[in-house]
Amino acid sequence: MTEINSLAMRESAMRLASGAAQLQKRYFLSGISIGAEPRIKVLRGFRGVGKTTALLQLMESKAIYFSMDNPNASMHSLYDIGKKFALEGISLLLVDEVHHYKNWKLDTKSLYDEFPSLTIAVSGSSPLAFEPERRYQIVEVEPLSLREYAQFAGNKTHPNEAWLDIGSTLSFLAQNPWLHVAYSQYIEGGAFPLYFSYKEKTLQAIYNSIQKSIREDAAFLPRVDGEIIANMERTLAFLATAVLGEFSINSLSGTLAMPKNKAYYMISLLLSMKILRIVRPAGRGAKLVRGEPKLMFYHPIMRKAVCAALQVEPDKGALREELACFFLSGRGWKINTIKGQKRNPDYIISKGSKQLIIEIGGQSKGRAQLQGFAQKTLLIDERQLMLLGLY
């Protein structure tokens, strides 16, 4: 077997890390404590959200970065590479695209047990390959919040709750007019860090990432065949060109001529890959009659990317709702659909003891849908949506 060229791998890692060092760090990095248990840190998330850059920004004098899809690394086992570096004094392994190596779980476990001072941080773009275990700290790498994007673009602000009140929202915007520009850039692609490199080509890059996730990453998942991969792409095309809520999993099963159990499994994969999100109905009583779950894109930029590839305009209402759900989820709110009258509000959201009935509003939306509910209600217009993203 070819000998591991540790010096060449170190040189390559240092060169890559020097480029990443010039970039701002993502907020989630502050939650990764090197050396603390659990010592296996698993960064999982969609392609293009900054996992590779984050690993490189963790580089230090006793760390080494390498990717398991690199030919030099793929010639050896992860265990052999890790052991060689550990014996040379490395205390932090930064392993990218680890799901490309079939036995990564067994090898990281062996390294974890054999070298108590070794921390292993791994990342990959096949989230289902990273099931939580006792030895793992799972780090969810999400698209940027609007606040994080604004900071990357040079406008620093603090988290706030002004979105809950239209008066406070208007006051904040009057004092921070730059937020209108930042929001416009954000919804054109700035939610993904690759926007800073790709600019007007961002949507094409994200669409390429979606295709690669389906055609390559899904191949690492169990029970995935050609039919599922083809129908994943068809599903995204159907959803992207439809009004939000038009398709349920059951209706998709019929449209795709696909058995229901297989359709449910396919959707579960798209959810785990963070391409789609499902918002389930709330309640079982008379006041909150259960309705169909809503299938939507995980972030509206993904809808835009698919629509751009299909050369159609995305539905503006769907984009607003997907953005609101992304921001609310990022703030820790639990989101459910609600059904109780002919023109019902969009969602019921809860966080701790707080509960709100909300309507995501465009210019044509009013408060009629919010009448008749005992819970506190809120109409969220686009200005409030901007501030909702400041977390």
Domain-terminating residue out of 140, 161, 194: 140
CA-CA distance, 386 to 380, in Å (whole number)?
Answer: 10
Q: Tally the domains of the chain.
A: 2
Same domain, 128 and 198: no
- What does the pLDDT look like over 334-376, one tens digit per residue? 999 987 555 667 899 999 999 999 999 855 555 555 665 657 8
Same domain, 56 and 187: no
Domain holding 25: CATH number? 3.40.50.300
Domain-terminating residue out of 140, 166, 184: 140
User: 95 pLDDT exceeds 70?
Assistant: yes
Judge whether 213 lies within some domain.
yes
Contacts 24+ apart (CB under 8 A), 342-347: 343/368, 343/369, 344/369, 345/369, 345/370, 345/373, 345/377, 346/321, 347/279
Token pair belonging to 188: 């054109």
**Angle between helices 178-185 and 166-175 in degrees, nearest 10:** 100
The mean pLDDT value for 222-236 works out to: 95
Domain of residue 34, residue span: 6-140
The residue to which tokens 């994969």 are assigned? 269
**Global pTM value:** 0.91
Same domain, 103 and 163: no
Same domain, 126 and 271: no
Same domain, 73 and 135: yes
pLDDT band with cut points at 50, 70 and 90 for residue 106: very high
Domain-terminating residue out of 122, 140, 158: 140
Same domain, 216 and 298: yes
- What does the pLDDT look like over 304-339, one tens digit per residue? 999 999 999 999 999 999 999 999 999 999 999 987
Judge whether 90 lies within some domain.
yes
Burial 116-130 (b: 16+ CB within 10 A, else e): eebbbbbbbbbbbbb
Q: Residue 203, class by beta-carbon neighbours within 10 Å (0-12 exposed, 13-18 middle, 19+ buried)?
A: buried
Count the helix, strand and coil residues of the chain and give each as a percent rounded to the nearest 5: 50, 15, 40
Judge whether 194 lies within some domain.
yes
